[in-house]
Structure 1
Amino acid sequence: MSAMAVLGWRTLWSLFVCFTVLRTNALSVTMSESTMEVVRGDYIILPCSFSTYSPLSRLNIIWTLAPFSSPESPFQVIVYDHGQIIEDPSLIGRVGFTDLPLRADIMINDTRVSDAGVYRCMVNNPPEAADPGIGELLLTVLVAPSLPACRWDGEVDAGGSVTLSCSVAEGIPTPEIRWDKLNPEEISLPINMEGELSGSVQIINVSAQTSGLYRCSASNLLGTENCYINLSIYSAGSESSSGILQGVLLTLSMSLMLSALLVLVTWLHRTGRDGRWRVSKGEEEEEEGYNEIRYTPSLIKRSFV
């Protein structure tokens, strides 16, 4: 092999080694998790590690969030720049770095639904890399189902139609809604979903067998919440029986009133007779006493003549 060829190979090898070293020494960012979940109100640590061969005096870390509610409007969550930490005003007191300057992990406490979205960790440590290393993580905030609201609408007379409705205000993941009739035995009912958070059951041609306790359940992986409706169906037979019972009660009441009135009249009549007899007897006694007193003086007079 000629000297020129050997020189050429050495040159290429040197360039390759230099390029490899430069790539090896370039700053890199690693996210140990790509998706994470947290229950609303709990705290979570979002991991972001980096490797660098340069001093950390000019280290710069930026965390951003693109919320699920507005993914087109990302904003800065927290920044570390030349030893200074700057938090977004809406997150002050709830977000912070955990292990500076060796790692770029952050902690979020008292998590809220608005904290869910796509987080990006960007690390720059001049002069090691012209472009910052970037890591990405998707965070989901879980929410238990809220207490559902039950209501009904329709005709509760036999032969009518009744609609049972149920809705929940929130729940992540979206709660599963179901209706069950609980007595005399538990039966699952077909449900019509009206959006993600509400569902209804329509019962046509209702009868006495339709009466009973109904339950709506809203469930996700965090738990289940229930609401209930006690449905009573009125039939023609029950109305007739009710009318007969009312008639019997009315007749009985009238009989009792008439009996009481008869007793009162009898008592008053007897009381009146006794009163008149006593008055008459008193007058006779008074008259007899008067006569005795009236004739006594004459008798006395005759005795002295």
Structure 2
Amino acid sequence: MPSFLFWHMRGEERRACASYRFPSAMAAPGWCALWTLCVCFTALQTNALRVTMRESTMEVVRGDYVILPCSFFTSSPLSRLNIIWTLAPFSSPESPIQVIVYDHGQIIEDPSLIGRVGFTGLPWSADIMVNDTRVSDAGVYRCMVNNPPEAADPGIGELLLTVLVAPSLPACRWDGDMDTGGSVTLSCSVAEGIPTPEIRWDKLNPEEISLPINMEGELSGSVQIINVSAQTSGLYRCSASNLLGTENCYINLSIYSGEESSSGILQGVLLTLSMSLMLLALLVLMTWLHRTGQDGRWRVSKEEEEEEGYNEIRYTPSLMKRSFV
């Protein structure tokens, strides 16, 4: 057998041919036919359609775009090339959807992905681009390529896509008894985040202290503070973090003791009494001013009457008689 034909065979065919005891020259036509069949079979296997996924796992931040790679090798014309991309979402892996199809020069997109998905290198590449990515785009993608008349079974490649999401702004709340000796629970929760955010509680003042947290599911955690006192008062912070960032919310606790409560009541009473005395003094002052104003007007009117009496000229009968004699 010529050496260049021998090395075109796969390992199994090479070993079979190497171990075969060829018959005498009289039977040469028979073993030549068998050898030719082996070579043809090996050539067909070598030239069969092959699909290669250059990546097995990929990550993309929600809202960005991503190119999903799928390469294939074929020795036949591409006039009957068929490419199908499917997605098995993480939310429902048992219900895969058809993402996009290329068949005999036509492209068909899933209605929910129209405008967000497309091929990038047809017909030489099966790569696709997904833009404005969403959480629902995450899952296992399969690239299937068929190019008749090559292998009846299409070449298939798989790729796992994860869509990353920054933590949402956490919501902080408290519940319990704010009086000395009571118990207070601080709770914090986030609506979303991929990977799952890490939640932690810290007291920021008068000094920063990390507090033990009780997780209530993947996206919420709480801290319970028992036998609270004045030292418990301060600013508390809840942090939700993943590889995309950190978001915080805050609670300011003020713990009141019984003495502080009594002191506050006494201060309130004294303030009320002071305001009452001020109002009473103001009322007395207004009454005095009112009366003083009335006395002043009465005296002015009496003086005016007396002045008018002095200026009046009076004639008596005796004076009249003397003047005409």
Give the TM interval when normalised to the shorter protein.
0.7 to 0.9
What is the CA deviation profile of residues 98-154 of structure 1, one whole-angstrom value per residue up to 9, with x for unaligned ones? 111111111111111111000001111111101111100000000111111111111
Say which SS state the counterpart of residue 85 (structure 2) adopts: strand
Deviates more, 1:15-24 or 1:238-247: 238-247
Partner residue in 2 for 1:223: 245
- Inter-CA distance 17–300: structure 2 relative to 1 (3 Å threshold): same
Q: Could you tell me how far apart the structure 2 residues matched to 1:118 and 1:192 are?
A: 34
- Inter-CA distance 229–251: structure 2 relative to 1 (3 Å threshold): closer
Query: Runs (4+) of structure 1 moved beyond 6 Å?
Result: 4-9, 290-295, 298-305
Q: Could you tell me how far apart the structure 2 residues matched to 1:205 and 1:85 are?
A: 68
Deviates more, 1:241-250 or 1:261-270: 261-270
What is the CA deviation profile of residues 55-74 of structure 1, one whole-angstrom value per residue up to 9, with x for unaligned ones? 11111111111000100011
Q: Structure 1 residue 206: deviation in Å?
A: 0.9
Q: Could you tell me how far apart the structure 1 residues matched to 2:311 and 2:82 are?
A: 140
| TM-score, L = length of structure 2 | 0.80
What is the CA deviation profile of residues 151-188 of structure 1, one whole-angstrom value per residue up to 9, with x for unaligned ones? 11111111111111111111100011111111111111
Q: Could you tell me how far apart the structure 2 residues matched to 1:21 and 1:277 are?
A: 136
Q: Structure 1 residue 245: deviation in Å?
A: 4.7
2:198 pairs with 1:176: yes
Q: Structure 1 residue 199: deviation in Å?
A: 0.7
- Inter-CA distance 246–301: structure 2 relative to 1 (3 Å threshold): farther
Q: Could you tell me how far apart the structure 1 residues matched to 2:117 and 2:213 are?
A: 43
Say which SS state the counterpart of residue 132 (structure 2) adopts: coil
- Inter-CA distance 291–58: structure 2 relative to 1 (3 Å threshold): closer
Q: Could you tell me how far apart the structure 1 residues matched to 2:122 and 2:309 are?
A: 131
Q: Could you tell me how far apart the structure 2 residues matched to 1:287 and 1:29 are?
A: 128
| TM-score, L = length of structure 1 | 0.84
What is the CA deviation profile of residues 3-58 of structure 1, one whole-angstrom value per residue up to 9, with x for unaligned ones? 47988876665454333322211111100100000001111110000111111111
Deviates more, 1:270-279 or 1:140-149: 270-279
Q: Structure 1 residue 234: deviation in Å?
A: 1.3
- Inter-CA distance 33–260: structure 2 relative to 1 (3 Å threshold): same
Say which SS state the counterpart of residue 207 (structure 2) adopts: coil
Q: Could you tell me how far apart the structure 2 residues matched to 1:284 and 1:59 are?
A: 124
- Percent identical pairs in the alignment equals 91
Q: Could you tell me how far apart the structure 2 residues matched to 1:269 and 1:25 are?
A: 118
Say which SS state the counterpart of residue 15 (structure 1) adopts: helix
What is the CA deviation profile of residues 65-88 of structure 1, one whole-angstrom value per residue up to 9, with x for unaligned ones? 100010001121111111111111
What is the CA deviation profile of residues 237-261 of structure 1, one whole-angstrom value per residue up to 9, with x for unaligned ones? 5535534652663476267438726
- Inter-CA distance 279–65: structure 2 relative to 1 (3 Å threshold): closer
Calculate the aligned-residue CA RMSD, in Å.
Answer: 3.5
Q: Could you tell me how far apart the structure 1 residues matched to 2:116 and 2:137 are?
A: 11
Deviates more, 1:108-117 or 1:290-299: 290-299
What is the CA deviation profile of residues 265-297 of structure 1, one whole-angstrom value per residue up to 9, with x for unaligned ones? 89469838955994897x998699699999955
Partner residue in 1 for 2:104: 82
Q: Structure 1 residue 230: deviation in Å?
A: 1.0
Say which SS state the counterpart of residue 293 (structure 1) adopts: coil
